[in-house]
Structure 1
Amino acid sequence: MNVGFIGAGKVGNTLGKYFEQNNIELTGYYDTDMNAAVEAADFTLSVVYTSLSELVKCSDIIFITTTDNTIQNVWDDIKELSIEGKIICHCSGALCSDVFKGVGEKGAFGYSIHPLFSCSSKTSSYKNLYDALITIEGSQERLQEVEELFKSLGNSTRIIDSTQKIKYHAAAVFASNQPIALAGQGADILEQCGFTREEAIKSVLFLMGHAIENIEKQGLAEALTGPVERNDIMTVRKHLQALSEEEKNIYISLSRKLVKIAKIKNPEKNYIELEDLLGQN
């Protein structure tokens, strides 16, 4: 079985290099940006295709690794070709395999395959893919075959229901993207206190790094510290008074979630007054 890629961006490069490093046979890349296709092919020791139809013809498994808003257009082109027996995949976290409308009628098999990790670099992210969970959704007929492809590389896999795909993706955004917003918010407030930007970022990263370590070692509830966990109403009230309206709204929203976790850690504590302060009651 050989694999071809339509789209030579970060995801296409990352997945292609990952396959190449694990001796999965690649056909190569097609992209409307020929320079990008050349770079990806060079990086993965594969071939550049100047024709979409030729790449499809030569590939058993086709990964559409374009932006989400382009996947439908690519499928509209592919479905006009001879694709019987081929596996067609996209790597969108938000879209399901139903974007491949009519795939079964063409004798092909459609899947959404999403590595649950942050792909930030064309040339180095593949190194982190070994530890990533791969979520898969799509046609039942060859689902096990697709799953076994990634299991053979050492990845954990999870079959996900199409009705849960968008909520799953929202969870990934909470875990991967929103912490960057929190880091930015924390750094902004430290700058208001006289820190340089460099000092602020360094301090925030130190705190966040230890928080992640503690979650890994102790679990969510036991890792929780701070005024909400202590039920320190006076300190929380002072925080709210010191923050801008936007900062306060973020603080309140996240603190409400912290209260729920704090109750698990400290079932004997009464958080009602704190919940009132945060507008939970």
Structure 2
Amino acid sequence: MPWSPMPDTTGPAARGHEVRGNTRRPGRLRIGLVGAGRVGAVIAAALREVGHEVVAASAVSDASLARVEALLPGVPIAPPDEVVRAAELVLLTVPDDEIAAVAAGLAAVEAWRPGQLVVHTSGRHGIAILADAATPGIVPLAIHPAMTFTGTSMDRARLHDAVFAVTAPPGMLPIAQALVVEMGGEPIVVEEWDRPAYHAALVHGANHVVTAVTQASAMLARIGIEEPARVLGPLTHASVDGALREAPGAVATLTGPVVRGDAGTVAAHLEALARQPEALYAYRAMARVTADLALSGGRIGPAQYADIIATLGPDAPLVAGDTDTEA
């Protein structure tokens, strides 16, 4: 098995640190955490709760040290190479753009060993980034939870029933799936080449919703509405719930002036947003896509579509440094 116990002669236990849980159930792993960010610390805590042994964690910032103390009490802090040497499964939970460099740096100091499980939680990347940067013979696993994290204990409950995208080498997929199931999640298989598209979909469907709601809230606040959330909350929840129920073909849930072919109202919106360039740019872009969906779904006809597109006008790029010039 890839996680067969190996003696640790260099890690925290050998250096006199206390290591919890010397007696482990069969199939339990010694886990090392490299990067105690919001995701990594929670994942490590979840695996610890089901009997795995978190032997060490690397943390530098005050926030990371606080997460280890709160979510992984008693786990010693150690340099990344010592964390790796002490572990059978390594959680390499660093930012996406740092995965390759950190993995390669650990390879340069010969911290990895063949048969070691190495997990990253990036949505964008599959396993190639680990296989290329780390030592040959490791078992790379990509396990991405499709949820947001606060880096606190409240995230643990949210892992239950969360979907995790898993990518693994041939024959190793059951290992990644089992880890997800142990945490209470639901694994779905995403192929290596589909990871960027998978992650783009999540960002577009979640992060960009936050951007749109933030802009809409600012528009309402600008006209003196003190609690924009009370206005937007019911409407936003109903819209998102409806879209999810009908996904991926949610044309029936579209509402608003574009799907009514009301070009005059769209023109009024553009005029109202003229001095808010960022919101205007976003409104135009999303209104065009909405018009495309409405036309393809039969909500508006070609003539109405043409009127809407003409009203929206050319999609001039937002110039860096553009700001709201309202006095």
Give TM-score scaled by structure 1 length. 0.85
The CA deviation at 1:86 is: 0.9
1:64 aligns with 2:95: no
Mapped to 1, the partners of 2:237 and 2:135 lie a distance apart of 50
The CA deviation at 1:10 is: 0.7
The answer for unaligned runs of 5 or more in structure 1 is none
Is the contact between residue 126 and residue 192 of structure 2 (CA under 8 Å) also seen in structure 1? yes
Is the contact between residue 160 and residue 183 of structure 2 (CA under 8 Å) also seen in structure 1? yes
Task: Return the index of the structure with the highest Cα Rg.
Answer: 2
1:12 aligns with 2:40: yes
| 2:232 aligned residue | 204
**SS in structure 2 at match of 1:100:** helix
The CA deviation at 1:58 is: 3.4
Of 106, 121, 137, which aligns to 1:107? Answer: 137
Mapped to 2, the partners of 1:34 and 1:268 lie a distance apart of 54
1:43 aligns with 2:71: yes
Is the contact between residue 116 and residue 134 of structure 1 (CA under 8 Å) also seen in structure 2? yes
The answer for unaligned runs of 5 or more in structure 2 is 1-27, 315-327
Please give the residue correspondences for 1:130-279 in structure 2 after superposition, counting only pairs within 5 Å: 130-196=160-226, 199-219=227-247, 220-244=250-274, 245-267=277-299, 269-270=301-302, 271-279=305-313
| 1:118 aligned residue | 148
Of 92, 112, 123, which aligns to 2:122? Answer: 92
Mapped to 1, the partners of 2:311 and 2:300 lie a distance apart of 19
| 1:25 aligned residue | 52
Q: Which whole-Å deviations, capped at 9, do the CAs of 1:165-224 have from their partners, x for residues lacking one?
A: 22322222112211121112111211222222xx12332233212212222445522221
The residue type paired with residue 246 of structure 1 is E
Mapped to 2, the partners of 1:103 and 1:73 lie a distance apart of 7
**SS in structure 2 at match of 1:48:** coil
Q: Which whole-Å deviations, capped at 9, do the CAs of 1:82-116 have from their partners, x for residues lacking one?
A: 51111111112233322224468632111222111
Mapped to 2, the partners of 1:86 and 1:106 lie a distance apart of 10
Is the contact between residue 11 and residue 65 of structure 1 (CA under 8 Å) also seen in structure 2? yes
The residue type paired with residue 187 of structure 2 is T
**Cα root mean square deviation, aligned:** 2.7
Is the contact between residue 81 and residue 111 of structure 2 (CA under 8 Å) also seen in structure 1? yes
**SS in structure 1 at match of 2:123:** coil
Q: What percent identity do the matched residue pairs reach?
A: 21
The CA deviation at 1:66 is: 1.9
The CA deviation at 1:154 is: 4.2
Residues 218/84 of structure 1: CA separation in 2 closer, same or farther (3 Å cut): closer
Q: Which whole-Å deviations, capped at 9, do the CAs of 1:132-165 have from their partners, x for residues lacking one?
A: 2111224224123212321354422222233332
Q: Which whole-Å deviations, capped at 9, do the CAs of 1:17-73 have from their partners, x for residues lacking one?
A: 22233x141323321428635742552356214244443233221111122343233
**SS in structure 2 at match of 1:275:** helix
Residues 28/54 of structure 1: CA separation in 2 closer, same or farther (3 Å cut): same
**SS in structure 2 at match of 1:248:** helix
Residues 104/72 of structure 1: CA separation in 2 closer, same or farther (3 Å cut): closer
Mapped to 2, the partners of 1:278 and 1:160 lie a distance apart of 37
Residues 253/56 of structure 1: CA separation in 2 closer, same or farther (3 Å cut): same
Residues 193/74 of structure 1: CA separation in 2 closer, same or farther (3 Å cut): same
Give TM-score scaled by structure 2 length. 0.74
